[in-house]
Each structure stands twice: as C-alpha cells, then as structure tokens.
C-alpha cells in the first residue's frame, strides 16, 4: 500500500508548481518558434517538439516529487509509478495516484501563435479526479480545483453563468480531427444554432471548461474528448457548480461531455439528444 493517504490539496500544490514550470517551457519554446512539427491521427492533428518536451518535463518532475505515482500523458501514454514495482498495482491500491496530463491543450493555437493554449494536469485517486490545474501558458491565467473545495481562477472563487435561458446562451464547443466526425459535429451544430445566442470555438477543451466555470461562456459541449482534455477542466467546471455529464445519465467521456449550469443543462441536453450528438463516428 502507499505510505500515506494522498491529500487532494497537497496534490493540487504539486500540480500547480509543476504546471507553472511546464507552462514557462511551452511559452519560451513558442517564443523561439515552432519546431519538431509532426502529425498524429490525421493530417490536421499536430504535435510539436514543445508538446513532447513539456510532457517529459512534467513526468520527470512528478517522478522526482512522487515516484510511486503513475502518469498518463497525451503524447507518451501511461508511465507506471514505482508503486507497481513494489506490487502496488494502481488498480488495486485505493490510495494509488494517477496524474492525467495534456502538455499542450490547443496545439493548433500554439502552432499559429494564438495565445490560447494550456497545460492541463489532474490528480486521480481510485479513478476519481480529486485535484486539477489548467494554466494558459501564453497569458498565465490559471484555474484550480480540489474536489469538494470549489473552483478558482487566480484565487477568485468561480460560480459559472447565471444565465437561465438557452436561447440567450453563448455555447462553446469543439471538433475532432477526423473528417467524418466533423461532418456529424457540423450537423449537430447546425441543429443547435437556432436555439442558442451564439457558438464559440476557441480550440482548447481544457480552457473551454474553465471559461464555462467562470461564466465567460454559458455552457460547453463536445464529442470525442480524451480524458487528458477534460480531467482537470471538468473538475474546475463541476466545482464551480456546473453539471458535467454525458448524455442520458452517462459519465462524461469520449461519446459526449456537456458542462452547463443546472438551469441550462436539461434544455441543452434535450437538444443534444434530439440531434444524436453522441452518435456518429
């Protein structure tokens, strides 16, 4: 078993320290120009030297500070912690910690020099995210949350939007990198647009969730997210009081994630079900 039960606020302190250093690396590398550009799942899904460098830096820092913990990162996958070597299988030890990292969420923004890309780092204990930080590496804005402890931007408590009418709501969303999925997502969007104030597509899911937590958009939904896109931002949104869920009672995940204040959730959910937003490729 782990030596000491993990304390979520301690995990957040570590996450913030590590994310700040990582954000600095991303910002400095961007200042020097984009290098190591390659594609992943499709020709539009890009990765840069900075995505890899930031992930390596975060994994190394976490190995130093908490060697027993596992780390799941977007670029290199799962790194087991020392606990596995000692016979503590993360799946069995109720106190095992797994860090979930997106080294640069919003890589396309990073590529184009748009100041809207973030480090997202969450700590999960027994399959539940208990602490998370999202830091916009370009601007230094930072959102944090501990499960049960509220959500904050740079120290200010967040409570989401107080909008009560979907027709007057600004709704953020995003699109996957696969062309067939985009066709489906575009159809859903076309069906939703007449029922909302307007749509925003900013290009970084973790930041979308934080903007919804802050009320800078009223709600957010997206199909096709990976856990590193939403682990930290989803906790920030939930702790700001938003409902963060999939459709028809499902957990938020790759089929669908909706984040909306309770007053808007049902209406948005109803439209997304009607439009089969969780369906398609």
Q: Which residues bind ligand IPD (CB under 6 A)?
A: 74, 102, 105-107, 174-176, 203-205, 222, 224-225, 229
- Comparing every residue's Cβ against ligand IPD, the nearest one is 174
Q: What is the C-alpha separation between 273 and 99, in angstroms, rounded?
A: 32
Nearer to ligand IPD, 223 or 271 (CB): 223
**What is the closest distance, in whole angstroms, from the C-beta atom of residue 224 to ligand IPD in the complex?**
6
Nearer to ligand IPD, 50 or 242 (CB): 50
**What is the closest distance, in whole angstroms, from the C-beta atom of residue 100 to ligand IPD in the complex?**
13
Q: From residue 52, how far is each of 57, 81, 105, 168 by CA, in Å?
A: 9, 19, 12, 40
Report the residue count for the chain.
Answer: 281
Nearer to ligand IPD, 88 or 218 (CB): 218
Q: From residue 65, how far is each of 13, 58, 248 by CA, in Å?
A: 11, 11, 40
How many Cβ atoms sit within 10 Å of the Cβ of residue 40? 14
**What is the closest distance, in whole angstroms, from the C-beta atom of residue 203 to ligand IPD in the complex?**
5
**What is the closest distance, in whole angstroms, from the C-beta atom of residue 44 to ligand IPD in the complex?**
10
Residue 270: CA atoms inside 13 Å, Cβ hemisphere, count? 7
User: In this structure, what token pair is assigned to residue 109?
Assistant: 């923004």
Nearer to ligand IPD, 35 or 39 (CB): 39
User: In this structure, what token pair is assigned to residue 58?
Assistant: 């975060």
């Amino acid at each position: 078993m782990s030596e000491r039960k993990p304390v979520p606020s301690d995990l957040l302190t570590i996450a913030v320290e590590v994310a700040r250093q990582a954000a600095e690396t991303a910002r400095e590398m961007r200042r020097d120009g984009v290098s190591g550009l390659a594609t992943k799942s499709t020709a539009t899904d890009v990765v840069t030297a900075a995505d890899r460098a930031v992930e390596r830096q975060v994994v190394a820092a976490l190995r130093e500070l908490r060697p027993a913990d596992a780390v799941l990162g977007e670029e290199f996958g799962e790194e087991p912690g020392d606990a596995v070597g000692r016979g503590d299988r993360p799946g069995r030890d109720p106190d095992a910690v797994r860090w979930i990292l997106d080294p640069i969420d919003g890589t396309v923004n990073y590529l184009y020099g748009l100041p809207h890309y973030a480090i997202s780092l969450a700590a999960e204990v027994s399959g539940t995210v208990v602490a998370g930080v999202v830091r916009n590496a370009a601007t230094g804005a930072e959102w944090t949350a501990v499960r049960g402890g509220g959500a904050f931007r740079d120290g200010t408590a967040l409570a989401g939007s107080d909008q009560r009418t979907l027709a007057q709501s600004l709704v953020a969303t995003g699109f996957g990198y696969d062309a067939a999925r985009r066709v489906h997502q575009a159809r859903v969007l076309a069906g939703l647009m007449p029922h909302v104030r307007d749509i925003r597509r900013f290009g970084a899911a973790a930041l979308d969730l934080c903007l919804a937590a802050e009320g800078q958009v009223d709600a957010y939904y997206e199909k096709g997210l990976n856990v590193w896109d939403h682990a930290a931002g989803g906790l920030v949104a939930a702790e700001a009081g938003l409902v963060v869920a999939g459709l028809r009672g499902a957990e938020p995940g790759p089929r669908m994630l909706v984040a909306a204040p309770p007053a808007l959730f049902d209406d948005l959910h109803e439209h997304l079900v009607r439009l089969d937003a969780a369906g398609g490729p």
